[in-house]
Chains A and B, each alone.
Chain A
């Protein structure tokens, strides 16, 4: 199967700082990546769709200035949580679709963000 890698897996930061999370497709090119947020014992909430070389499409209610997404290459998308606050603490998961699509999503391992 395809491999999607996220880094860091855990990050703790102070309130007001910015945190960047990377999502890489290791063995395939991904024209489209997705960013999800998951609260404890809850389902995955789609935050935004990231397309290589273009601006991300954000879901309703997601602040684009708070959650900056960049899809700089066919193998890398980044999520930057700007001016983080404790309520931004969550589990962030990225996923990617292979270029030769089968409709199958491959998920990263997730990144646990804790804002103090």
Chain B
């Protein structure tokens, strides 16, 4: 019940395309859903996050869509660029701030 399932494991997108990464969870106590971007040899950096009271949040080219009834949320990267090539992790947490991370998606954007 504490798992966060992330898919796909890897993703190849053409420059300018849309990258979509999906996550699903079971624990309805989760109330914070962030997405992190990680480059090789670096720590994760927060991209965007959402709480269950909204269904969508957009920041620049990054959008989170949240479906509370389905217990799913996704990251959309619009106009994907080669510089977006990285590993992306979704996560979920409760008020204890113990984050449960997804398994990661390695995104490669072709020039």
Contact = CB atoms under 8 A, between A and B. Distances in A.
- Most A CB within 10 A of own CB, among B43, B46, B95, B106: B43
Interface in B62-76: none
Given A103-B32, A104-B49, A93 B43 contact: yes
A101 B97 CA distance: 9
B101 A43 contact: yes
Interface residues of A, number: 25
29 contacts: A34-B98, A34-B99, A41-B87, A41-B104, A41-B106, A42-B104, A43-B89, A43-B101, A43-B103, A43-B104, A44-B44, A44-B99, A44-B101, A46-B99, A93-B44, A95-B43, A101-B97, A103-B32, A103-B49, A103-B93, A104-B34, A104-B49, A105-B97, A105-B99, A106-B46, A107-B36, A107-B43, A108-B43, A112-B41
B43 to A, nearest CB: 4
A94 to B, nearest CB: 8
Nearest to A106: B46
Nearest to A32: B97
Chain A interface SS verdict (over half): strand
Interface string B95-111: 10111011110100000
B42 A109 contact: yes
Contacts of B49: 103-104
A75 interface: no
A49 interface: yes
Contact of A43 (B43, B45, B98, B102): B102
A107 B35 CA distance: 13
A5 to B, nearest CB: 10
A105 B97 CA distance: 8
A37 to B, nearest CB: 12
A105 B89 CA distance: 13
